Structure 1
Amino acid sequence: MEITLSERITENLVRDSFRELGYYTAENGISIEEQKSEIVKIKKLLSKASKNNKGNKGYPEFIISNKLDHNFLIVFECKPDLKKHQSNNLDKPVDYAVDGVLHYAKFLSKDYIVLAVAVSGSTVSNLKISNYIFASNDGSYTELKNEHSQPVEQLLSFDDYYRLASFDPVVAKKRHEDLISFSRELHELIWTKAKVSEEDKPLLVSGTLIALMNNAFQKTYKALDSDDIQDAWLSAIKKELDKAEIPQGKKDTMIQPYTTIAVHPNLGRPDSKTAKEYPEGVFKEVIDSINDNVWPFINIYHDFDVVGQFYGEFLKYTGGDKKALGIVLTPKHIAELFSLIADVSKHDVVLDICAGTGGFLISAMQKMLRTAYTEQEILDIKKNKLIGIENSPKMFALAASNMILRGDGKANLHQGSCFDDAITDAIKKAKPTVGLLNPPYAQSKSDAELHELYFVKHMLDLLDVGGTGVAIIPMNCVISPHQAKHELLKHHTLKAVMSMPIELFYPVGAPTCIVVFEAHKPHQESNKKTWFGYWRDDGFMKTKHLGRIDLNGKWNEIKERWIEAYKNNEVHAGESVLNYVNADNEWVAEAYLDTDYSKITKDDFETVVRNYAVFKMLNEVS
């Protein structure tokens, strides 16, 4: 006679693990529901999830949610018999743990990122555990893996599960896409219901994120009256700034842009037009939305310029020509590429003289932290090794808030002109070894003193001897003759130039290139060839609602190939070349590359011949 072991035994073992791993700690915000759920969306998704296909509701043993991220769930399915862990075809959800948990997770993944956990066994010593991550709504999933790319075969704390799930490539991609979609929705809410100006919208986001860092505000803002919430919001920001070890003058500069929002008339008590839809006020709705959709992202993805993402998205709705305003924000993957080109580490001091929202500094900090081994090294990087300058007071506030949200780095942010003597004297004392730059683009040919190459030269002049400067500038800067090219090569060595994708800054159509210099070593004295890379295809594609994204997951492979070729000065026909250049030459790969005939197909040949024939015919007719 076969003995049927009770599933209650396995469930009790899982509960014991929950206690040991801190799931039942009151202040962690975790909710554990068993065999049911009071969450309306979950009940709806599982309304037809019966494992026996009878069309009624079905529930896994445990459903775990958390206040930190309402879009993330962990579900558990338990079986006492190890033989019932997984069927051969994963098609028996009633009888097998893996089959069952995948069944439920598939339904829930339509609206959630789901971590599915299957547990089998009747004693602590013989438990078998499988973990899977559902990242998209098409029902596809992968095994959950640890930092060493090994499958996770044990029960983890909620924080560890959340962290590993978040860094799954598919999850990270979906999180990013969700953030872009939300930024578009938030713009619509802020503009249509509150009429907040274009330049103040990103400040509303960054200020709210800082305010949410204040535990008292995060716990109480929902209960505040609409007349009081703006003052409480500003007070929370001030309290968080007071915790920062930065001079009072910088705090005052930073808080000033937020005071405008704190008295904005449409963010207080709702008027007759908004009272019905938002009876507690639009501001509380905005804070709620940011708390639910952005705050979880901030806590996980420390290498992402979230404030810059919103700034860039909001810019799309600004009237006028963004290029004419000199506003060209650097895409995240290019900021990451800069840190790889400069090969930054814990030993470097990184400078950005046109910091914007701080994207380069955030990317550099994350790469530097990966080379740190002690808490002292980590603290040193955050406190002493990131330097930024930003002229615009409002942009300075955004950059400083970005660094505060990352844990530090704001102490060495300067508000003012990068050409100011007092600021440059202070920076030289820090002896920066790496400069990263996306300068403001000149608005007209008459802006001789504001030519992009003069910003590049100034950055290099501030670096220590032998330092590496990396900048992204318009292509015409390296093609057209200019006095600045002579001044640059008189003092610094041009190591490399890479031609970037034409639509890199889409929707702004500004063809660009990356230039890499070695500081304070005259080009002629170096007597070295310059490496030119043809980096026109980064694998990103334009999409209707998300802009340019890595739609097919090609970027990592392309990035690694580019960096390897650059570091080793590799020469490949049609892709890269070495050449001696001077200030009068064109600094662009296209001028020196050899054609790679091995890649030319019959179709390419026929297209060229056909186009030439049409050209000849039209000219003869005319």
Structure 2
Amino acid sequence: MAGTLTDEIRVWLDGTGIIDDEHASKSERVIRPFSEYEDIFFGTKNDKLVIIQSTYALNELLHGYGINEKIRSQFVGTCLLALKNGLVYQGLTTKQICAGIEGILTNLLDKDLNKANKLVVLKSKVIDSQDVRDLKDKEFQHLLNDINEHILPYINDKTTMGQDLLNLFFTTFNKYVGKADKNQAFTPDHIVHFMCKAIGVNRYSVVLDPCCGSGAFLVRAMTEAMDDCDTEEQRDNVKKKQIFGIEYEETAFGLATTNMLIHSDGNSNIVQGNCFNVESYIDAGVNVVLMNPPYNAQRKHCDPEYVKTWKAKTKEDPSKGFHYVYEIAERVKTGRLAVLLPMQCAIGYDAEIKSFKRKMLEKHTLDAVFSFPPDMFHPGANSNACCMVFNLGTRHENASIKETFFGYFKDDGFIKKKNLGRIERTDEKGRGVWNAIEIEWLNLYSKRITKSGFAVTKEVTANDEWLAEAYMETDYSNLNQESFQNILNQYLGYLISTGRRK
């Protein structure tokens, strides 16, 4: 810019045409090739509203053609991926289209060390699925045409917003998977985004999700890390060497593979297996862990050594997922770890859970706990979850900051809507409210601000409750009958979920 005295680069990319401090892109530090600017301003335009409407319409179409809810996300993701890579489908039979999709997947996974395993999963779960094989030729063509005309033209995947829209499109169908399985807890994308921001994912982060499910944490962490890069070489390094995922369940493993491929990561380090046996990530220098472990895992999914300590009649993980956290922390050793766990783990009345709280604090620091909305996983799992953030390697008693931050982040600006799950509220100007809420949450946490009704800091031990609710002063100015009833409902739900009331 003329008249400036430094070599600082300032870029405006939001499309408003307004040149001021508020609208400047803070993540732009170097001048990109002009072909990228051309694509941003004259290429495909992102349109979130169209994507939301088209996704809902596509789901109705899939329902009408008999594609089961359990495979919809995987099927749609695979179709989108194939279309992005030049799938020919007009005038072809269902069998020919499936062969074309398989060929594209084979090429995309060409350099992947787990190619054979991933192809078997994607083929068995999608291409060879009876629901897909039963599609009439015209029906399959109609579905692909719908994605090609009403989804792809409104997503510019070379932009951050475009990557977000790809994620929105793909993960929306996970809601329907969750609807069919109340034990599935797919983490909402905005919560994933907040956790990545809170834990400080950047270009140097080497990220692990040991229970990666559909790959939501990995995709978001990859996007955040790449946004922080200055060169194409750095971005390529993030994709190839800094994102690691492990998933035991075959269907979820297929989802994660497709999800990463959709986001242009063809050589992702995602493996299928038990996170207690797969340790290839250790030599990679993992320094960030993001995870949402199963809360009611069966014996075969848990650490074999831990299972040996269970009583004979115990069928599900008595630690409610906490032992996953402890074992992964033992292997990673240093860095930061953010995990979603049920509220029971923070309260810790159960002796088994209290034992893991104690063991974690003996080796690591509890930096923060965020209480999240009780219906966060709707329409899937009914779990009431919180997020714990640990600084690994520093014993809690030796931490330089003695007090843990507790955030009461129950209102994320999302509401339940029939057939749509939880959707973002809008303000009087029609703008989504989540962005402002996220900024406030991050500001409270980063500055460790105490705010009535929102946040408090407290020095705690393993014997204490790790929840904001236990230490906050109540803001009575905002209390009304509806608020009172909501608290009663939440408390009753907690009593029922913990077996204290039947």
TM-score range, shorter chain: 0.7 to 0.9
Q: Give the equivalent residue in structure 2 for 1:438.
A: 292
1:222 aligns with 2:90: yes
1:377 partner SS: helix
Q: How many aligned positions are there? A: 426
User: Are the counterparts in 2 of residues 267 and 282 from structure 1 also a CA contact under 8 Å?
Assistant: no
Shift of 1:286: 2.4
Q: What is the CA deviation profile of residues 379-417 of structure 1, one whole-angstrom value per residue up to 9, with x for unaligned ones?
A: 111111111111122322221121122122643111101
Q: What is the CA deviation profile of residues 347-395 of structure 1, one whole-angstrom value per residue up to 9, with x for unaligned ones?
A: 1111111111111111111111121111111111111111111112232
Shift of 1:203: 2.5
Counterpart among 422, 442, 448 of residue 317 in structure 2: 448
Counterpart among 213, 220, 228 of residue 356 in structure 1: 213
Letter in 2 for 1:540: F
User: Are the counterparts in 2 of residues 344 and 364 from structure 1 also a CA contact under 8 Å?
Assistant: yes
Q: Give the equivalent residue in structure 2 for 1:336.
A: 193
Aligned partners of 1:511, 1:463: CA distance in 2, in Å? 27
Counterpart among 365, 372, 390 of residue 517 in structure 1: 390
Structure 1 residues 568 and 255: CA distance shift in structure 2, 3 A: same
Question: Within 5 Å, which residues of 2 pair with 1:145-184?
Answer: 145=17, 149=23, 160-163=41-44, 165-166=45-46, 171-172=47-48, 174-184=49-59
By relative contact order (CA 8 Å, sep 6+), the higher-ranking structure is 2
Aligned partners of 1:577, 1:532: CA distance in 2, in Å? 5
Aligned partners of 2:295, 2:19: CA distance in 1, in Å? 40
2:406 partner SS: strand
User: Are the counterparts in 2 of residues 368 and 381 from structure 1 also a CA contact under 8 Å?
Assistant: yes
Shift of 1:143: 8.2
Counterpart among 205, 214, 223 of residue 76 in structure 2: 205
Structure 1 residues 176 and 209: CA distance shift in structure 2, 3 A: closer
User: Are the counterparts in 2 of residues 496 and 515 from structure 1 also a CA contact under 8 Å?
Assistant: yes
Aligned partners of 2:130, 2:415: CA distance in 1, in Å? 41
Structure 1 residues 158 and 453: CA distance shift in structure 2, 3 A: closer
Q: Give the equivalent residue in structure 1 for 2:425.
A: 551
Question: Within 5 Å, which residues of 2 pair with 1:533-548?
Answer: 533-548=407-422
Aligned partners of 1:352, 1:523: CA distance in 2, in Å? 23
Aligned partners of 1:257, 1:457: CA distance in 2, in Å? 30
Structure 1 residues 313 and 600: CA distance shift in structure 2, 3 A: closer
Aligned partners of 1:282, 1:229: CA distance in 2, in Å? 12
Give the aligned CA root-mean-square deviation in angstroms.
3.0
Q: Give the equivalent residue in structure 1 for 2:173.
A: 310
Q: Give the equivalent residue in structure 1 for 2:112.
A: 246
Q: What is the CA deviation profile of residues 476-521 of structure 1, one whole-angstrom value per residue up to 9, with x for unaligned ones?
A: 1111332211221121111111111111112343211111000121
Structure 1 residues 578 and 283: CA distance shift in structure 2, 3 A: same
Moved more, 409-418 or 261-270: 261-270
Structure 1 residues 179 and 399: CA distance shift in structure 2, 3 A: farther
Aligned partners of 1:290, 1:503: CA distance in 2, in Å? 30
1:223 partner SS: coil
Counterpart among 47, 50, 60 of residue 185 in structure 1: 60
Q: Give the equivalent residue in structure 1 for 2:222.
A: 365
Return the index of the structure with the highest Cα Rg. Answer: 1
Q: Give the equivalent residue in structure 2 for 1:127.
A: none
Aligned partners of 1:264, 1:501: CA distance in 2, in Å? 36
TM-score (normalised: structure 1): 0.63
Aligned partners of 2:119, 2:154: CA distance in 1, in Å? 24
1:397 aligns with 2:258: no
Letter in 1 for 2:79: T
Q: What is the CA deviation profile of residues 463-486 of structure 1, one whole-angstrom value per residue up to 9, with x for unaligned ones?
A: 352x11111111111113322112
User: Are the counterparts in 1 of residues 90 and 141 from structure 2 also a CA contact under 8 Å?
Assistant: yes
Question: Within 5 Å, which residues of 2 pair with 1:42-441?
Answer: 144-145=16-17, 149=23, 160-163=41-44, 165-166=45-46, 171-172=47-48, 174-191=49-66, 196-215=67-86, 218=87, 220-242=88-110, 245-247=111-113, 250-260=114-124, 261-264=126-129, 267-268=132-133, 280-296=137-153, 299-300=156-157, 301-303=162-164, 304-305=166-167, 306-316=169-179, 318=180, 322-323=181-182, 326-408=183-265, 410-420=267-277, 423-424=278-279, 426-441=280-295
Moved more, 385-394 or 539-548: 539-548
1:548 partner SS: strand
Letter in 1 for 2:283: K
Counterpart among 373, 384, 392 of residue 501 in structure 1: 373
Letter in 2 for 1:391: Y
User: Are the counterparts in 2 of residues 268 and 281 from structure 1 also a CA contact under 8 Å?
Assistant: no
Letter in 2 for 1:284: Q
Letter in 1 for 2:474: T
Q: Give the equivalent residue in structure 1 for 2:445.
A: 566
Structure 1 residues 429 and 147: CA distance shift in structure 2, 3 A: farther
Aligned partners of 1:449, 1:596: CA distance in 2, in Å? 35
User: Are the counterparts in 1 of residues 450 and 457 from structure 2 also a CA contact under 8 Å?
Assistant: yes
Letter in 2 for 1:255: L
Q: What is the CA deviation profile of residues 294-347 of structure 1, one whole-angstrom value per residue up to 9, with x for unaligned ones?
A: 43456432135343321222432x2xxx33xx3100001001001110111101
Aligned partners of 1:379, 1:147: CA distance in 2, in Å? 31
User: Are the counterparts in 2 of residues 571 and 577 from structure 1 also a CA contact under 8 Å?
Assistant: yes
Counterpart among 463, 474, 487 of residue 584 in structure 1: 463
Q: Which runs of 5+ in 1 are unaligned?
A: 1-141, 151-155, 271-277, 612-622
Letter in 1 for 2:404: T
Q: Give the equivalent residue in structure 2 for 1:90.
A: none
User: Are the counterparts in 1 of residues 214 and 255 from structure 2 also a CA contact under 8 Å?
Assistant: yes
User: Are the counterparts in 2 of residues 502 and 511 from structure 1 also a CA contact under 8 Å?
Assistant: yes
User: Are the counterparts in 1 of residues 206 and 242 from structure 2 also a CA contact under 8 Å?
Assistant: yes
Structure 1 residues 231 and 462: CA distance shift in structure 2, 3 A: same
Aligned partners of 1:227, 1:370: CA distance in 2, in Å? 40
Structure 1 residues 187 and 441: CA distance shift in structure 2, 3 A: farther
Structure 1 residues 504 and 210: CA distance shift in structure 2, 3 A: same
Shift of 1:158: 7.4
Aligned partners of 1:484, 1:399: CA distance in 2, in Å? 29
Moved more, 232-241 or 363-372: 232-241
Q: Which runs of 5+ in 2 are unaligned?
A: 1-13, 25-36, 299-313, 427-431, 489-502
1:351 partner SS: strand
1:459 partner SS: helix
Structure 1 residues 298 and 396: CA distance shift in structure 2, 3 A: farther
Aligned partners of 2:393, 2:453: CA distance in 1, in Å? 32
Structure 1 residues 412 and 449: CA distance shift in structure 2, 3 A: farther
Structure 1 residues 405 and 147: CA distance shift in structure 2, 3 A: farther
Structure 1 residues 314 and 559: CA distance shift in structure 2, 3 A: same
1:222 partner SS: coil
User: Are the counterparts in 1 of residues 367 and 404 from structure 2 also a CA contact under 8 Å?
Assistant: yes
